[in-house]
Structure formats: C-alpha cells, structure tokens
Structure 1
Amino acid sequence: MYVRLSYPLEAYVPAWPGTPQLQLEPLMQLSAGDVANTFLLHLHNHIGTHYDAPNHYVKDGLSISELPLEYFIFTCPLRVELPKGERELITAADLAPHREEIAGCDLLLLDTGFSRSRSEDPNKYVSEGPGLSAEAAAWLVEYAPQLRAVAVDFVSLASYRAQDDGNEAHRTLFRGKNGHFICGIEDVDLNQIRNKCVKRVFAMPLWVRGIDSAPVSLLAEVE
C-alpha cells in the first residue's frame, strides 16, 4: 500500500512569508473550442512540499538535478514524534534518546504535530512554526552517518521567528562532514503514516537543471 506525503499544489498554499503563490495561466481550453487543455505554470521552487538540495545554502553544493539517485530512494525511513508548538525548536537533546535508531536511518521524518495548523490556521503555520535548531543539525551530521534527508511537518527547517539559527541549521546539514551531506524536505504531510509501519519512501522532484530546490512528490510504502 502507498500513501502520498506531499500536499497538492493549488491556488493557495501555505508557504514561507513573501513566497509568490502558484499561478495557473490557461493557454488552450476545450471550453473555448481549442483542441486540448494546456496551462502555463508560474511556480516558485520553494512552495508546497519541496526538496532542498545543498546548493540552496552552499555556493558549490549540488543542485537538485545533480544529486545521486539514492538521495531520492529511502529504504530505512524513521518517523520520530517530537511534539512542538509555536516557535519551539527541535534540539539535540530531543534527538539524543533516539540516537541508535537515527544512526541507521536514511530518511528522518520529524513529526511535531504542528501540521494541524496548516488547515486550521495557515497564518500561524507559516509565521509561528517550529524549526530545527543549528545544534540539532550539527548533532545529525555527527551521529547519523547514513542519513540523506530530514523531512519536517512544518513549512521550513528554519522557524520564521528564529531565522539566523535556522539559516545555520540549513548550512550545517548541507555542508555536512567528510563529503556526507544531508538534504531537507519541507512542508510534509506526516498525518498519513501515523500508526503505520513505513517500509520505503520515494521522493520524485521536478528535474530542472541548475536550481537549488524543487517541488517533490513524496510517496511512502506502508504495511
């Protein structure tokens, strides 16, 4: 059985404050007598569920189309529940009790429960959300040698109210250590896998050359 962990893109998507929204421009329309329906999509690459490659924060880091394919296929995913409220940061102390499990995973799904705000209070979701602290990012680089990506159920690895710390968290993950870096997957719907055993996760981004990030279709195989 497969479930989708990506939110659909639509006319309004909760996103980092100031991010341009998706615009759909009809080009050909059956209703107007054209032979087919076609659209022009005006799409910011950090809107909705999206995959951040190292080039997002690291000048010489790999772009989304340069990543090895194994960065999109996860065979040892791990979901960890870490309840967080407004502006709360995930710390190294939060992760430490799960050190043994995290050390063997290739995708870490951080389930804070904050995603409920996405539909209930979108403004709170985008501007008052939690984040991954820089110290937690450094902990992952040190103690998660198999980890290729961190997925979060809030709008960005960085909390809007703690941007300096969040920027450093991004840089720390994307720089990595000894050639091993960790990517980020943001605005993920983890409601679909609670109380389920996740066997594999597939991340399928838009393959656009030269960009730092792309919207991604995230699919989980569950039992």
Structure 2
Amino acid sequence: MKYVRLSYDLAKSDPGWPGSYSIDIEPYTQIARGDVANQYKITLLNHFGSHMDGPKHFNEKGPRLAEMPLSTFIMEHPLLLDIPKSFSELVRVEDLLPYEDELQRADSLFIRSGFSKFRESDKIRYASEGVGISSQACQYIMDRCPNLNAIGMDWISLASYAHGEDGCLAHQYLLGMFHSHYICIIEDLNLDAIDPARLERIFALPLFIEQIDSAPVTVIAELNI
C-alpha cells in the first residue's frame, strides 16, 4: 500500500474565499531568542485551506464535526471522477449521470476538475472565479446517492464565487436542510497524484474543536500499489 496526502499545508500565502479572513502565524516562544522551546500562535478561519464543512455550517439543526460518528471520516468505497472544468464553471447533473451506478455504490465522491493547477499560478482567479457544483447537481446527489457521506473537490469551495446564490443552496442541500441525511463537504484538495483504479480508502480527519461547525482537515488516500 502507498499513502498520499491530499490536503495542503496551511500557509499565509494560500488563496482564501474573497473577502474572508485566512490565517496568521506568529512566534509565541522561540529558542533563538532565549526561550526553552519553540511555540506558535495560530489565528485561523475554520473555512480556510483544506477543510471539511460539517452540517452545522449551513444547517442549524445539523451536527458539528466533533459530534459526528468517527466512521464518517473513513471512506471505505471512495469514487474519484475526472470532470474537467474551468473558470466559474459548474459541475451539473449531466456531468454525473453517466456515473450513476458507481455513485450509488460509493460512500464518498471526489471530483478532479483540473482546476487546482491555478492554485499557485493564479491565486486571485482560483478564489474569485472558481469551479462549483450546481444546486441541482447537489439535489440529485442527495436524492439518488444515499450511501454518500462526503464529497471532496480540487477547488476552493463547493460554491463558485461567481454563482453565490446557487452555491448557498448547494451547501444547504448537501448539509441536510431539505433531507433526513447529510453529506460532508471537503474543499480545496490536491487530487493530482491519485490513480482512480488504485484508490482503496480515504481518511479525512478534521480538527475536533468544541463549538465550531467545521474545521481544517487532513486527508490521506490509501492506494493499492
């Protein structure tokens, strides 16, 4: 087996949702200045970088990540789909229909659009003209794919900044506002190195912080090599 990390390091230079806070990192104690150990103070928006949206993010009746079963974060039957998209484009129902049988068997869906190539080369457009999943596609997933417990993507957010109202509705669908179940959302991943044919399992372990809806997440893929 081989293990590959799909989540990014958290860095001040990373792109964030336009207008939102990101991260500040500053020394708290430093050996170089006479302290006995190195420590850092981190101020972080919980929806920055690779992170997982819990149901509470858009659904006030939904659970926070720390309240959910641990089995939620281990994906035994992940499905990785290549669905190429460019600036401000949406993944739509017609993009998913050819994979309906596979989607119904999977417990998690990861979409590789190829848009992650802009994360370093054009950070502003990566954030402000990102890909999204349409609300109709999210409704279709909720109605037709009851075994899914997570959806991950190689762009900044389920919502495209260019389609804000539709993106809000998309979040509401997946996070359970209109259904008896919910699907967690894993945003801003690096899926470049994954061969779908060798993908065995995915572990997505967020920080479990009391009171917050969602959190940064470490995502690891297990590959059959």
Q: Partners in 2 of 1:27 and 1:119 — Cα distance?
A: 29
> Once the two structures are superposed, what CA deviation does each residue of 1:187-219 show, in whole Å capped at 9, x if it has no partner?
011012146511000011111011111000000
Native 8 Å contact 1:55 1:62 kept in 2? yes
Show the 5 A alignment for 1:48-59: 48-59=49-60
Task: Specify the alignment match of 2:216 in structure 1.
Answer: 215
**Residue type of the alignment partner of 2:71:** E
Q: 1:178 to 1:120 in 2, by over 3 A?
A: closer
- Partner residue, 1:143: 144
**Shift in Å, 1:19:** 2.1
Segments of 5+ residues of structure 1 without an aligned counterpart are none
Aligned to 1:204: 205
The alignment partner of 2:26 has SS state of: strand
Question: Which residue of structure 2 lines up, in the alignment, with residue 37 of structure 1?
Answer: 38
Please state if 1:155 is matched with 2:152.
no
SS at match of 1:193: coil
Is residue 64–residue 210 contact of structure 1 (8 Å, CA) maintained in 2? Answer: no
Alignment of 1:127-206 (within 5 A): 127-175=128-176, 179-194=180-195, 197-206=198-207
- Matches of 2:137 and 2:101 in 1, distance apart? 15
Which of 29-38 and 172-181 deviates more? 172-181
Whole-Å separation in 2 of the counterparts to 1:4 and 1:207: 19
Count of residue correspondences: 223
- Runs of 4+ off more than 2 Å: 176-179
Query: Does 2:1 align with 1:7?
Result: no
Deviates most, 186-195 or 100-109: 186-195
Provide the rounded CA distance (Å) in 2 between the counterparts of 1:195 and 1:84. 18
> What SS does the aligned partner of 1:156 have?
coil
Q: Which runs of 5+ in 2 are unaligned?
A: none
Letter matched to residue 188 of structure 2: D
Rounded Cα–Cα distance in structure 2 between residues aligned with 1:54 and 1:48: 18
SS at match of 1:9: coil
